[in-house]
Chains A and B, each alone.
Chain A
Amino acid sequence: MVYLTRKAEFSASHFYHNPDFTPEENRRVFGKCNNPNGHGHNYTLEVTVKGEVDPRSGFVVDLKQLKEVMHREVLDAMDHRFLNKEVPEFLHQIPTTENIAIAIWQRLAAKLESARLHRVRVYETPDLFVDFYGEP
């Protein structure tokens, strides 16, 4: 088994708010992230796929295809967007880094042809990141 990781960057804004919470609760739980006007990050996405090396091509996965799927499914939808208002998953879910990683997994897993998705890692900042392995 060989693991291959492809990186991408996207920039987006978001805020944290749960409509079931009172305004005070929202401020207490989410702090500055509760500002309804949003704030932004430069996210780094790392997608790791795994598989056996194809004896003919020497590839685990066709990188062009992986890059294209990442662009179409993730970057086109999230880059330079206000996540809460423009990305369907986040109309009903708070766009935390955890939920962004899960949403990206969901978007990619169904579209990858040869390789199996191993891990989605999303850096919100260089000192904060989330890994999702598709575990329930």
Chain B
Amino acid sequence: MNHEAKKIYPVYPCVPCGKDFDFMGSFQMKAHLSRRYLFSASHRLHSDAMSDEENHSTYGKCNNPYGHGHNYTVEVTVSGQVDRQTGMVCNLADLDAFIETQVLARFGHENLNTLREFAQEVPTTENLCIQIYEIVQRGFHFAHLERVRLEETMMNSFEYAGREA
């Protein structure tokens, strides 16, 4: 560390706690990191619990038996103390690798209705958002998962932050 340079620069007071903020860091701060990923998939909204008429009136065009597709954007937000050594909440390479293998590879270019995750439930974007949240919550341990936000189109998006939120 260049101590000469350090002397001439101000030490800023930490706003939340009032302590002096020493930049190579005698204490840490919590930040939220969000990363957005794209994948494309098809689905059909249809519930076996409803009659054909009810399905049609509930889901409209989305009930088309041949299905239809979307370009989904999934936004994953994790949080944690900013690591002094790396300046990071978590290494982006770890988050990217996890999402690639566990989420994008699983859902990208699939017909969601054919997947075991949706054998029992309708692949609405609400349910897909919860599924993705649960996958990240169970398997990604480098930072705390805050929420998953899933955009089905530019016009509608869904957020899930766990059962308690």
The answer on a CB contact under 8 Å between A131 and B32 is yes
The answer on a CB contact under 8 Å between B87 and A98 is yes
The answer on a CB contact under 8 Å between B1 and A16 is no
Contact residue among B2, B27, B32 (Cβ-Cβ distance under 8 Å from A132): B32
The answer on a CB contact under 8 Å between B87 and A92 is no
CB proximity to B under 8 Å, residues A77-136: 88-89, 91-99, 101-102, 105-107, 109-110, 117, 126-136
- Residues in A with CB closer than 8 Å to B156 are none
How many residues on chain A are close to B (CB under 8 Å)?
38
CA distance A101 to B82 in the complex (A): 11
The answer on a CB contact under 8 Å between B29 and A136 is yes
Verify if B30 is at the interface (C-beta below 8 Å from A): yes
CA distance A117 to B162 in the complex (A): 27
The answer on a CB contact under 8 Å between B5 and A91 is yes
CA distance A98 to B87 in the complex (A): 7
Q: Who on chain B is nearest to A18 by CB?
A: B85
In the complex with contacts A19-B1, A92-B24, A134-B15 CB distance below 8 A: yes
The answer on a CB contact under 8 Å between A95 and B87 is yes
In the complex with contacts A93-B24, A102-B29, A135-B16 CB distance below 8 A: yes
CB distance from A44 to the nearest CB of B (A): 13
The stretch among B47-55, B62-70, B89-97, B129-137 that forms the contact with chain A is: B89-97
Question: Main secondary structure on chain B at its contact with chain A?
Answer: loop
In the complex with contacts A29-B91, A96-B86, A136-B14, A128-B35 CB distance below 8 A: yes
Verify if A36 is at the interface (C-beta below 8 Å from B): no
Interface string of B1-34 (1 = CB under 8 A from A): 1100110011011111100010111011111111
- Residues in B with CB closer than 8 Å to A29 are 86, 91
Verify if A24 is at the interface (C-beta below 8 Å from B): no
Verify if A54 is at the interface (C-beta below 8 Å from B): no
Verify if A23 is at the interface (C-beta below 8 Å from B): no
Interface string of A15-40 (1 = CB under 8 A from B): 01011110000000111000000000
Q: Who on chain B is nearest to A16 by CB?
A: B87
Verify if B37 is at the interface (C-beta below 8 Å from A): yes
Contact residue among B1, B30, B85 (Cβ-Cβ distance under 8 Å from A136): B30
Verify if B141 is at the interface (C-beta below 8 Å from A): no
The answer on a CB contact under 8 Å between A98 and B24 is no
Q: Who on chain B is nearest to A90 by CB?
A: B23
Verify if B105 is at the interface (C-beta below 8 Å from A): no
Extra 9 A-B pairs, beta carbons < 8 Å, given A128-B33, A136-B29: A29-B86, A89-B9, A92-B24, A105-B15, A127-B35, A129-B33, A130-B32, A131-B31, A131-B77
